[in-house]
Amino acid sequence: MDIVNFLMTPEIFLVWTSLAKTLGLLGIILGFVSYTVYAERKVSAFIQDRVGPNRAGVPLTGIRLLGLGQPIADALKLLLKENFIPNSVNKFYYYIAPKLAMIPPILVLAVLPFGSELFGVPMVIADINVGVLYVFAVSSLGVYGIVLAGWASNSKYPFLGGIRSSSQMISYELALGLSVVPVFMIVGTLNLPEIVNYQVANGWMIAPYWIKDFDLAAVMANPASLGPLLVSSFSLQQLLLSVPMFISFIVFLVAMFAETNRAPFDLPEAEQELVGGYHTEYSGMGFALFFLGEYAAMIAGSGVIVTLFLGGWSLPLIPDGSAGWFWGLVNIAVFFGKVSALLFFFIWVRWTVPRFRYDQLMKLGWYFFFELALVNIFVTALIIAFIKS
Amino acid sequence: MALVVKRPTLNFAEKIYLPALLGGLIITIKHFKDRLLGKTKVTMEYPEQKWDAELPDWYRGAPTLVTDEWGRERCVACQLCEFICPPRAITIKPEEIPNDTKWAKVEKRPQEFDIDMIRCIYCGLCEEVCPEQAIFLRKDYSITGYSRAEMMHDKAKLYELGGIKSGVVNKWNEKK
């Protein structure tokens, strides 16, 4: 009993639950990363009328399982490959660059509320008040991995990739930061779990058409009560705000594509122009870390978008974790379901849109999205100031 | 006069780029959906599914040597194929047919006949040049081996692949 009492003291409880959450989330995310690679290959194959990976299944049995063993086989191959280091590289930065590309996206996950609560434990690792600032600060560090890799490789194509990455960052980062300001103006906090709670009460940021205090059983019993409920739930301010929110969402989504180096903004890799871009000189596990870092960044980015605009772990008519552990698990599943849907969108766009030219991306960032995000802030401010809710 | 190419003037929908983007997304998701429902015809899965039954008659696979219907090896070691072979894959060592055997009047036959399948380009010139119709490109296309020596088809291997072919060349047959 002593041990149980010890574990239940508040400080110790916080420590071991945080550890358990960290390990659990890390496990889920790493699995997600490898199967996102599989999804990327499979979806691209299907879009291009091909078969895609379909052979690697259970080893030595001939069971194929639609190629679901492929990520494991890929990881084993990359682990066992020789980590060749060219003679001309700057060894220290060459070593450190892949780690710098992999770690920031994983750090971002620490502040994402990936579920409501489970057994009374809130499903967020670090419930900090500067959540979104932390996300921007850490995820921007990811670019250092790419720039350092390009510079340390001491080779022209990686160098061009690194330069492109840094110039790409300055052109989208402003739009990325400004596009979420309207969200904070509406919610009034930077704390990510609280942003999700606001969306649970008032509807998702991009679709705030929520009926407040909706009770399905009561409405079924008395259908006439739906009318007044609708009138009382929707205010003019709320409806007007959905327009700047939608613009915010589009700008943020596009900027996130650039942030995660995904097509159509995958200029740092641009394999047709720059051989492999920043990771040309990497092999084995170094290359794998860049590759996994890209997908981890995609997942973290999708998690941020889901949390800010798509209602986080919430789904209409589904109670949160205080209603029981089952609903807590359902909330976690909903969050990852939304992230998966967004990841599919990322992949879908990559195999649809051709890559932007270098100057086109700069033009897009500086001439359109920056202004759009800026005007959006003022429009939101005016709506909040002059139209009473 | 120089040709003036008119620049297209874009309307608003084309300028904001998003409708075109959406159109592209719809096209790709249609392909995805059709492939998912199995409506798309996709590539054959090679080692399990083969196209052997549909190979055309003129398919040029591995070159082989054939015997005629009386069991005589048709090759008379004239070496025309050796000389015409563009990658010089064929090596023939001729020998005389002993006088006391049945086909003594043919006079020559190959003692050794090697085709290096690493070099062979399946062009079919050997078949075309052969005056005795002794060498044919058959339909074997998956010629593989673990060593260079294995890829060297000798006389026995070539006859094994070629088999018997009854044809129009009857000049060595006494009955005709």
Within 8 A of B25 by CB-CB distance, chain A residues are: 348-349, 352
Give the Cα-Cα-Cα angle B100, B102, B103 (nearest 5 degrees): 105
Within 8 A of B27 by CB-CB distance, chain A residues are: 352
Looking at the complex, report in whole angstroms how far the Cα of residue A352 sits from the nearest Cα belonging to chain B. Answer: 6
Quick one: pLDDT band at residue A332, thresholds 50, 70, 90? confident
Q: What is the pLDDT of residue B168?
A: 65
Cα separations in angstroms, A235 against A211, A308, A379: 11, 21, 17
Within 8 A of B23 by CB-CB distance, chain A residues are: none
Chain A residues in contact with chain B using a Cβ-Cβ cutoff of 8 Å: 43, 45-51, 348-349, 351-353
Predicted TM-score (pTM) of the model is 0.80
Q: Which helix (H) or strand (E) holds A141?
A: helix A131-152
Q: Which residues pair with B92 in a beta bridge?
A: B113
Q: Which of B25, B35, B45 sits opposite A49 (nearest CB)?
A: B35
CA atoms of A380 and A382, how far apart (whole Å): 5
CA atoms of A180 and A202, how far apart (whole Å): 18
Looking at the complex, report in whole angstroms how far the Cα of residue A85 sits from the nearest Cα belonging to chain B. Answer: 32
In the predicted structure, residue A216 carries a pLDDT above the cut 70: no
Quick one: pLDDT band at residue A341, thresholds 50, 70, 90? very high
Lowest mean pLDDT among A7-21, A29-43, A89-103: A7-21
Cα separations in angstroms, A218 against A92, A131, A225, A323: 66, 37, 8, 19
Q: Is B140 left (phi over 0), alpha (psi -120 to 50) or beta?
A: beta
Please compute the mean of the pLDDT values over residues A13-30 and round it to a whole number.
Answer: 85
Q: To the nearest 10°, the Cα dihedral for A297, A300, A305, A306?
A: 140
What percentage of residues in chain A have a pLDDT greater than 90? 3
| Closest residue in B to A43 (Cα–Cα) | B32
Quick one: pLDDT band at residue A142, thresholds 50, 70, 90? confident
* Cβ within 8 Å of residue A3, ≥6 positions away: none
* Contact assessment for residue B124 and residue B139, using Cβ atoms and an 8 Å cutoff: no
Asked if the C-beta of B20 comes within 8 angstroms of chain A's C-beta atoms, the answer is: no
In the predicted structure, residue B170 carries a pLDDT above the cut 70: no
* pLDDT one-digit tens code per residue, A270-319: 777 777 778 888 887 888 888 888 888 888 889 889 888 888 887 777 77
CA atoms of A249 and A152, how far apart (whole Å): 36
Within 8 A of B45 by CB-CB distance, chain A residues are: 51
In the predicted structure, residue B37 carries a pLDDT above the cut 80: yes
Name which of A353, A356, A367 to mutate to probe chain B: the one with the most chain B Cβ atoms within 10 A of its Cβ.
Answer: A353
CA atoms of A255 and A244, how far apart (whole Å): 16
Within 8 A of A51 by CB-CB distance, chain B residues are: 42-43, 45
CB atoms within 10 A of CB B169: 15
CB contact under 8 A, B28 and A51: no
Looking at the complex, report in whole angstroms how far the Cα of residue A233 sits from the nearest Cα belonging to chain B. Answer: 32
* Contact assessment for residue B151 and residue B143, using Cβ atoms and an 8 Å cutoff: yes
* Contact assessment for residue A157 and residue A270, using Cβ atoms and an 8 Å cutoff: no
In the predicted structure, residue A389 carries a pLDDT above the cut 70: no
Q: What is the pLDDT of residue A126?
A: 80
A212 SS3 class: coil
CA atoms of A158 and A167, how far apart (whole Å): 14
Exposure string over A167-176, b if 16+ CB within 10 A, otherwise e: ebbebbbbbb
Residue B86: phi and psi, rounded to 5, are -60, -45
CB atoms within 10 A of CB A247: 18
The residue ranking higher by pLDDT, A121 or A183, is A183
Please compute the mean of the pLDDT values over residues A107-111 and round it to a whole number.
Answer: 87
Please compute the mean of the pLDDT values over residues A343-350 and round it to a whole number.
Answer: 90
Q: What is the pLDDT of residue A215?
A: 63
Give the distance, in angstroms, between the CA of residue B62 and the centroid of all CA atoms in the same chain: 6
In the predicted structure, residue B26 carries a pLDDT above the cut 90: yes
Asked if the C-beta of B19 comes within 8 angstroms of chain A's C-beta atoms, the answer is: no
The residue ranking higher by pLDDT, A275 or A345, is A345
User: In A279-346, which ranges are E strands?
Assistant: none
Exposure string over B48-86, b if 16+ CB within 10 A, otherwise e: eeeeeeeeeeeebbbbbbbbbeeebbbbbbbbbbbeebe
CA atoms of B123 and A227, how far apart (whole Å): 82
Give the Cα-Cα-Cα angle A260, A265, A269 (nearest 5 degrees): 80
CA atoms of B3 and B112, how far apart (whole Å): 68
CB contact under 8 A, B40 and A43: no
Lowest mean pLDDT among A51-65, A337-351, B146-160: A51-65
Complex-level ipTM: 0.77
User: What tokens were used for B128?
Assistant: 């075309």
Please compute the mean of the pLDDT values over residues A25-43 and round it to a whole number.
Answer: 88
CB contact under 8 A, B28 and A49: no
| Closest residue in A to B42 (Cα–Cα) | A50
Quick one: pLDDT band at residue A355, thresholds 50, 70, 90? confident
CB contact under 8 A, B43 and A50: yes
Give the Cα-Cα-Cα angle A81, A86, A89 (nearest 5 degrees): 130
Within 8 A of A48 by CB-CB distance, chain B residues are: 31
CB contact under 8 A, B35 and A351: no
Nearest to A30 by CA among A227, A295, A332: A295
Nearest to A150 by CA among A142, A140, A161: A161
Lowest mean pLDDT among A173-177, A222-226, A360-364, B54-58: A222-226
Rounded to the nearest integer, the mean pLDDT of chain A is 82
* Contact assessment for residue A187 and residue A250, using Cβ atoms and an 8 Å cutoff: no
Amino acid letter at A92? F
CB contact under 8 A, A50 and B42: yes
Residue B6: phi and psi, rounded to 5, are -75, 130
Q: Which of B29, B41, B43 sits opposite A348 (nearest CB)?
A: B29
Please compute the mean of the pLDDT values over residues A338-360 and round it to a whole number.
Answer: 88
- Alpha-helical (H) ranges within chain B are 12-15, 18-36, 80-84, 125-129, 155-162
For the four alpha carbons of A74, A79, A81 and A84, in that order, the dihedral sign comes to positive
Name which of B17, B21, B29, B32 to mutate to probe chain A: the one with the most chain A Cβ atoms within 10 A of its Cβ.
Answer: B32
Looking at the complex, report in whole angstroms how far the Cα of residue A353 sits from the nearest Cα belonging to chain B. Answer: 7
* Contact assessment for residue B137 and residue B122, using Cβ atoms and an 8 Å cutoff: yes
Q: To the nearest 10°, the Cα dihedral for B134, B138, B143, B149?
A: -10
Rounded to the nearest integer, the mean pLDDT of chain B is 86
Q: What is the pLDDT of residue B92?
A: 92
Q: To the nearest 10°, the Cα dihedral for B55, B56, B58, B61?
A: -10
Nearest to A112 by CA among A142, A138, A144, A146: A138
Q: What is the pLDDT of residue A232?
A: 66
What percentage of residues in chain A have a pLDDT greater than 70? 92
Q: What is the pLDDT of residue B175?
A: 63
CB contact under 8 A, A46 and B29: no
Within 8 A of A46 by CB-CB distance, chain B residues are: 31-32, 35-36
User: What tokens were used for A37?
Assistant: 């690679």
Within 8 A of B20 by CB-CB distance, chain A residues are: none
